[in-house]
Amino acid sequence: MNYEKKGLGMAVFASHSALQLVLGGMEQGVRTALFGPEDRLELYRRFPALSCELVRYAGTETLDGLADEGFVLVPNGSVVEYVRPENLFRTKIKVFGSRALLGIEADQRRKMELLRKAGIPTPKEFSTPWLVDRPVIVKFPGARGGMDYEVTDDPQRISDLQIWALERRIVKGPSEVMIQEYLIGTTVYAHYFHSPIHNRTEITGFDIRYESDVDGLRRAPVSIAMRRSPTFTVVGNIPVFPRERLLETFLEYGERFVETVKREAGGKFAGPFCLECVVDSGLNVFAFEFSGRIVAGTNVYSVHGSPYLALYFGRPMTVGERVALELKTAAETGSLDEVLT
Ligand SMILES: Nc1ncnc2c1ncn2[C@@H]1O[C@H](COP(=O)(O)OP(=O)(O)O)[C@@H](O)[C@H]1O
Ligand SMILES: [Mg+2]
């Protein structure tokens, strides 16, 4: 690590939650570099009060160069999509959080397995269309952002979708198409921050994703909505404050998740993560996915900070600032090794 001279910096892909992380760095006096293709960087030049370096991304050498300048990578969703987890093993830049977990996150099967190992309730999975006895959501692998997912309870339609995905080489075999129970309830995306410095898993907030066109279809006449299988393209995020008794369940799931990550994925974990959940009418909480890094849903607290973080620090704080604070404290106390992989 080469941060002693210029001070530790956060390298962030220019998208997703970049604004929040830059502002958080500015709050804590931790410098930030945003990297990405030229056309992505343009947006960030428009905001004069934003203080960060802008670096054109030209492959993992760019990340190596940033490491030489004392930067560590704070991964966001765009890193998983754009840099790809396998490339993160080809660069010397240190990752805040768990490099190994980002690889698991990109693999649907391993992802669900990790949740099950943590003892977190998950939707039922079907190995073949012909066993399906309830509505399911049919999911395809890869960073496709929910593209072409379909909700159905018709085994023939699921079988057709498997063939469709095979023909388009989206999958190599039908078993790569995930057939997952479609949970009826409300979606709640729970955000956490694991701090090795404080040895605790903090709740930092909750959001609901505003997804097109599943959310828009609610405003369409029933006769039209019934003829469409909804898509799930995330357009934005809305804050939600779950009933207070649910906090216990969410905290327990978060803590179990961290223990399991440490056990199954290289012994270390630090930083933000998210459990994507559905809460049913019996207030049972199921997780259908996770993100092992900051989620864009934390942007809902970008301006005034998360009121949940005030319960730990006495004042509201954004997750961007929380990241910068943990890194700064780790550097000051010689504990960087605990938060970086
Ligand atoms: N098992 C499920 N039950 C109900 N809704 C689901 C389920 N799985 C996914 N969804 C809905 O589909 C969206 C996209 O699915 P997800 O598995 O999160 O894919 P992505 O990789 O695009 O994030 C979710 O945000 C949620 O609205
Ligand atoms: Mg998701």
Note the pLDDT tens digit of each residue in 239-295.
999 999 999 999 999 999 999 999 999 889 999 999 999 999 999 999 999 999 999
SS3 label, residue 39:
helix
Question: With contact defined as beta carbons under 8 Å apart, do 273 and 293 qualify?
Answer: yes
SS3 label, residue 128:
coil
Atom of ligand 1 nearest to the CA of 143: 21
Atom of ligand 1 nearest to the CA of 214: 27
The structure tokens 């005034």 sit at: 304
> How high is the pLDDT of residue 2?
61
Per-residue pLDDT tens for 76-132? 999 888 898 889 889 999 999 999 999 999 889 999 999 999 999 999 999 999 999
- Name all residues whose Cβ lies below 6 A of ligand 1: 123, 137, 139, 145-146, 149, 180-183, 187, 209, 211, 232, 276, 278, 288-289
CA 77/CA 146 separation, integer angstroms: 14
Would you place residue 61 in the very low, low, confident or very high pLDDT band (cuts 50, 70, 90)?
Answer: very high
Q: Which helix (H) or strand (E) holds 205?
A: strand 200-213
- Ligand 1 centre distance from Cα of residue 318 (Å): 25
Reported pTM:
0.95
> 3-state SS of the chain: helix, strand, coil percent to 5?
40, 25, 35
